[in-house]
Chain A
């Protein structure tokens, strides 16, 4: 009789994910399903609200990357107020937003490295789970942990200086930004003060983190290159000249060999190119490239996809690392899930370099912050969030109220790849019995950690968040259950 294995991280309220593995009579894996419930009801939440409120309202979607939602919404509203798509702002307006965004990228990527990547790299994925986490790093690699806290704080403080505050920031507004960066604020980040490092130190630490990955990779190639590896398409924004650009650009998609599928198209036309499939077993949709159809058109987003789609990185140290990264796969896209960590750290280094470049730019002290244009009733904003491409699409009615909102968040874009990653791990760890093993728990966890999906995370009523694995048969009878965390 076919059986189901369910791996369930249970949160208190809406952020709820689980993995179900469906086995046939011979305990062979026939399907994997990663269920993530998120963002239900958001369209209803913003409908009827004045459009200019959107950049603040949407920050409540995610406690880790509220800035990405803030800026994606602001970019969509730039179109609605008639000032174009990311290129029509004043230099101060665009560069302040970029500073906010790259600071967000730095703090988010740093957090990921500290929480999830470095424990795996420094201790190995089969090490004691009690140590293979942020506490283990704090205990065994204190210097690294202190650096991570200060890098995270550095990013947070720039966000505060550009968005106005840490929670419900109001920095980006339709048509621009509501403040510039004073010389005093700039100098804090350039030169540092007690508790906030200078930018050169941040760049050095970001560079060292890339070296840490490469060292580990050199010693563990077989594991890193084989774990949850599968061919996929890759999608991201790129600058018009093909450079990596996390704030604005055109949409590009390549296949697993690097052949272009979407050739630098305007994202205002995304509905021509991207479809969303609905499946009966999950609320989360499955985006796909229409030209390839539902079966073959799914794609990855995020750091790995971005380094697979772009032609170069426009900052010195990150470009050097990018060349090493590309050389490893002979110039072709990397389809190795664990290379996501490598790509993320290169982006982190790039973010630090961009922050330095922006801090040195006198445009940040200029006063021309907002532009007005001729209003329209529809706008689309895209941005490369830490976990991947984020789509915001709004229409407004005659009373300036939001009448339609459609979001495709990074985690949704990565829905099929995450399912594939879990499937690849499950297939390699099935014990031959309908049982949850430690190897399966660890492996599935590592696969999820690589993507770090957003689980409706901006809700944090005190409670517990265990990882639970349940094995059921097709009738729902529980055959085995294990819980961790």
Chain B
């Protein structure tokens, strides 16, 4: 029997900054009901050691809040990218992939699940819209993890992602 893909979920953000904690909230909830072969980690932000954490995995799902211009939840493949270089304080998922490739000679396929946020003040509660988006994100994350487990990461093509994105919208409408 083939071994299940080793998948890591990397949630990041700050629960003390309203919707910024969305990635942590969803990761913690995922942690409670993980399929075999999936590990979850979460932290305030990504940094260089995460390159080591993902280096022995077959797939990575990053989860983060987002202030970008879209509604609800968005899934996209992560491509390697350069590093912002005037501060030690943050690294993007794409930069983590680049470091992983350079240091460990591997670059696991990765996706970013973005959760739309609306409020970023220093408070612990999330906005109602972001809370609703977290429910959707949880649903999407479970679907992605199950899909990768069943079909392998290579099968998660752009076409499948588009289909999932469509289902996300349907899920949001019917909630």
A residues neighboring B (CB under 8 Å): 9, 12-14, 40-42, 44-45, 57, 60-61, 63-64, 66, 108, 111-112, 114-116, 119, 129-130, 132-135, 138-139, 142, 145-146, 148-150, 152-153, 156, 166-168, 195, 445, 448-449, 452-455, 457-463, 465, 467, 485
- A residues within 8 A CB of B12? 460
A149 and B24 form a contact (CB under 8 A): no
Given A9-B86, A134-B85, A462-B66: A167 and B42 interface contact (C-beta under 8 Å) = yes
A461 and B64 form a contact (CB under 8 A): yes
Q: Taking the nearest CB of chain B, how far is it from the CB of A171, in angstroms?
A: 16
Q: Taking the nearest CB of chain B, how far is it from the CB of A161, in angstroms?
A: 15
Binds A, one of B46-54, B134-142, B144-152, B165-173: B46-54
- A residues within 8 A CB of B99? 134-135, 138, 145
- Assess whether B157 is interfacial by the CB under 8 Å rule: no
**Which B residues from 76 to 135 make CB contacts under 8 A with A?**
82-92, 95, 98-99, 102-103, 112, 114, 117, 120-123
Given A42-B122, A145-B103, A461-B120: A134 and B15 interface contact (C-beta under 8 Å) = no
B89 contact from A145, A195, A457, Cβ within 8 A: A457
- Assess whether B65 is interfacial by the CB under 8 Å rule: yes
B24 and A116 form a contact (CB under 8 A): no
B89 and A64 form a contact (CB under 8 A): yes
Residue contacts A-B, CB under 8 angstroms, 13 given: A12-B67, A13-B120, A14-B120, A134-B91, A134-B99, A146-B103, A149-B52, A153-B49, A167-B43, A448-B86, A457-B89, A459-B14, A460-B44
Given A42-B122, A454-B89: A135 and B98 interface contact (C-beta under 8 Å) = yes
Number of A-B residue pairs at CB separation under 8 A: 166
- Assess whether B39 is interfacial by the CB under 8 Å rule: no
| Assembly CA distance A111 to B45 (angstroms) | 14
B64 contact from A108, A168, A195, A462, Cβ within 8 A: A462
Q: Taking the nearest CB of chain A, how far is it from the CB of B20, in angstroms?
A: 5
- B residues within 8 A CB of A457? 45, 87, 89-90
A460 and B122 form a contact (CB under 8 A): no
A135 contact from B17, B82, B88, Cβ within 8 A: B82
- A residues within 8 A CB of B47? 111, 152
The 3 A-B pairs with the shortest beta carbon distances in the complex, nearest first, are: A60-B16, A63-B44, A138-B102
| Assembly CA distance A150 to B117 (angstroms) | 34
B123 contact from A45, A145, A485, Cβ within 8 A: A45
Task: Other than A40-B122, A462-B65, give 15 A-B pairs with Cβ distance below 8 A.
Answer: A112-B88, A114-B48, A116-B86, A133-B82, A142-B102, A145-B103, A152-B48, A153-B52, A166-B43, A453-B87, A455-B87, A458-B44, A459-B14, A460-B14, A460-B90
| Assembly CA distance A459 to B114 (angstroms) | 15
Encode contact with A along B1-36: 1 for CB under 8 Å, 0 otherwise. Answer: 000000000001111110110001000000000000
Given A167-B43, A461-B20, A463-B68: A60 and B14 interface contact (C-beta under 8 Å) = yes
Of B14, B52, B67, chain A has the most CB atoms within 10 Å of the CB of B14
Q: Taking the nearest CB of chain A, how far is it from the CB of B110, in angstroms?
A: 13
In the complex, which residue of chain A has the Cβ closest to the Cβ of B104?
A146
| Assembly CA distance A454 to B44 (angstroms) | 14
| Assembly CA distance A38 to B84 (angstroms) | 20
- A residues within 8 A CB of B91? 134
B16 and A45 form a contact (CB under 8 A): yes
| Assembly CA distance A462 to B19 (angstroms) | 12
